[in-house]
Amino acid sequence: MFQLEDCIAYITSRGAKTLAERLEDRFTGSGVSRVQWIAMYYVDRCPSITQKQLAERMNSKESTVVRLLDRMEKENMVRRVCCQDDRRVRYLEMTPEGRKLYEKLSQRAEQFKDDAIRGIGEEKLEVFKEVLNQMLANTEEG
């Protein structure tokens, strides 16, 4: 008989939600949300990233990311820069203020990661990632 507590989808969903909430707690008082930090992460890692590409990387709707960027631009974290070849395309870059915030919060994120995996060996972490990625691939096929 099906047991929800044994369902991998339920366990991973609950785990992901809990970990996301706890990372959000680490950002408390910074004025930056976990989702804003994730956007900053991709802007930092992907020079000349567009709004559309950011939405794809964040696995979000483009309209949701546009609203997120509107807030972040208003708060002087990021700026949109028009492409010289195609004025419809806007690239994203961090402002100096945004970069400073991002670097500070990246230290908190790194500490959170270290805390979350404490006591778990590298081999087990690799197996976990491989198994989860295989499960995702399996569900994409069927």
User: pTM here?
Assistant: 0.86
With a cut of 80, say whether residue 141 has pLDDT above it: no
What confidence score (pLDDT) does residue 120 get? 97
- DSSP state letters, 40-104: HHHHHHSTT-BHHHHHHHHT--HHHHHHHHHHHHHTTSEEEEE-SS-TT-EEEEE-HHHHHHHHH
Does 50 reside within a domain?
yes
Query: Is the CB of residue 41 less than 8 Å from the CB of residue 77?
Result: no
Does 62 reside within a domain?
yes
Q: What is the CATH number of the domain that holds 34?
A: 1.10.10.10
Q: What is the pLDDT of residues 98-128, one digit of tens each?
A: 999 999 999 999 999 999 999 999 999 999 9
Q: Give the rounded percent of residues in the chain with a pLDDT score beyond 90.
A: 81
What confidence score (pLDDT) does residue 14 get? 94
Q: Rounded CA gap, 47 and 91, in Å?
A: 8
Domain, as residue range, for 68 = 7-141
Q: How many domains does the chain have?
A: 1
Does 1 reside within a domain?
no
Does 18 reside within a domain?
yes
Does 2 reside within a domain?
no
Query: Is the CB of residue 44 less than 8 Å from the CB of residue 85?
Result: no
Q: What is the pLDDT of residues 23-58, one digit of tens each?
A: 999 999 999 999 999 999 999 999 889 999 999 999
